């Protein structure tokens, strides 16, 4: 990748952050209209943390590397990832009591991992002035926390979307929901691919897949809440 191309790619998180704000607010407003639907609250939190992660990337591009910004990026992006969105799917598909139990486990795990991220020393020899990478963590074992959270997201967010698509495919009147869940699944998969690339040192791939993933997820969400005559919109 040329220097010019790399610099342009580094500005992609700015666009992603700007788009994440209205998306999170859109979901949150819907939650305020239906406060009993906790999956909407978790989805709003998920898009908000998604935006926090891309905001830290944008800040690093514009201002430069900062230790506090880095730790915020690692917790909101590399650690949390799609977990809040997955938790929304948990509340949508499982019994409320089961969802509550999984929430306690997930939040406890993330809190422990976050404390480790905050306390880890920084290997300043690995710091890049305008680029974020987990290699700067002095305690490299801290990076072992994120795969388990990512697996949780894969099972419930991606798996839930695929399962929903299969369920809706049997009824022609809910065909739009099949497309919606396919888009959401694709939107969830892309940042995961970017996260894998980041571990290999190609953080620019993450920037692009984050934007594409957000757009696909928003498209899928909009499609899922579309008003269709005589169709019960179970996701809304």
- DSSP, residue by residue, 103-154: HHHHHHHHHHHHHHHHHS-B-GGG-BTTB--GGGBS-GGGGGSHHHHHHHHI
Pick the closest to residue 43 from 196, 225, 166, 200 (CA basis): 225
How much is the pLDDT for 9? 84
d(CA 65, CA 135): 13
How much is the pLDDT for 163? 87
d(CA 105, CA 102): 5
How much is the pLDDT for 34? 93
Sorted by where each starts, the structural domains of the chain and their CATH numbers stand as 3-224 (1.20.1070)
Pick the closest to residue 147 from 179, 109, 111 (CA basis): 109
d(CA 180, CA 218): 9
Say whether pTM exceeds 0.75: yes
Tokens 């949780």 sit at which residue?
Answer: 152
131 — alpha (psi -120 to 50), left (phi > 0) or beta? Answer: beta
How much is the pLDDT for 228? 53
- Residue 201: exposure state from Cβ atoms within 10 A (0-12, 13-18, ≥19): exposed
How much is the pLDDT for 103? 97
Both tokens assigned to 83: 């977990």
Rounded mean pLDDT for each run of 10 residues along the chain, 236 residues in total: 59 93 96 94 95 91 92 90 91 93 96 97 92 91 91 89 84 83 90 79 85 95 71 42
How much is the pLDDT for 235? 45
Both tokens assigned to 75: 């917790």
List, as own/partner pairs, every contact residues 104-111 make where C-beta atoms lie below 8 angstroms and the sequence separation is at least 24, other chains included: 106/149, 106/152, 109/145, 109/148, 109/149, 110/79, 110/80, 110/83, 110/149
How much is the pLDDT for 81? 80
d(CA 9, CA 6): 5
How much is the pLDDT for 126? 93
């Amino acid at each position: 990748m040329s220097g010019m191309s790399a610099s342009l790619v580094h500005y992609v998180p700015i666009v992603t952050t700007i788009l994440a704000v209205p998306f999170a607010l859109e979901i949150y407003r819907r939650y305020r209209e239906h406060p009993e639907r906790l999956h909407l609250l978790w989805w709003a939190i998920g898009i908000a943390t998604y935006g926090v992660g891309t905001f830290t990337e944008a800040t690093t591009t514009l201002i430069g590397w900062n230790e506090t910004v880095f730790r915020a990026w690692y917790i909101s992006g590399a650690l949390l990832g799609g977990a809040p969105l997955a938790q929304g799917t948990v509340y949508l598909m499982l019994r409320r009591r089961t969802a509550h139990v999984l929430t306690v486990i997930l939040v406890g795990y993330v809190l422990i991992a976050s404390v480790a991220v905050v306390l880890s020393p920084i290997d300043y020899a690995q710091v890049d002035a305008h680029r974020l990478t987990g290699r700067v963590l002095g305690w490299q074992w801290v990076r072992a926390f994120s795969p388990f959270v990512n697996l949780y997201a894969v099972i419930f967010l991606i798996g839930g979307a695929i399962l929903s698509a299969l369920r809706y495919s049997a009824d022609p009147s809910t065909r739009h929901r099949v497309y919606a869940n396919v888009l959401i699944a694709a939107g969830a998969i892309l940042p995961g691919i970017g996260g894998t690339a980041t571990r290999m040192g190609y953080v620019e791939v993450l920037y692009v897949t984050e934007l594409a993933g957000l757009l696909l997820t928003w498209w899928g969400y909009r499609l899922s809440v579309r008003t269709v005559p005589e169709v019960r919109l179970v996701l809304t």
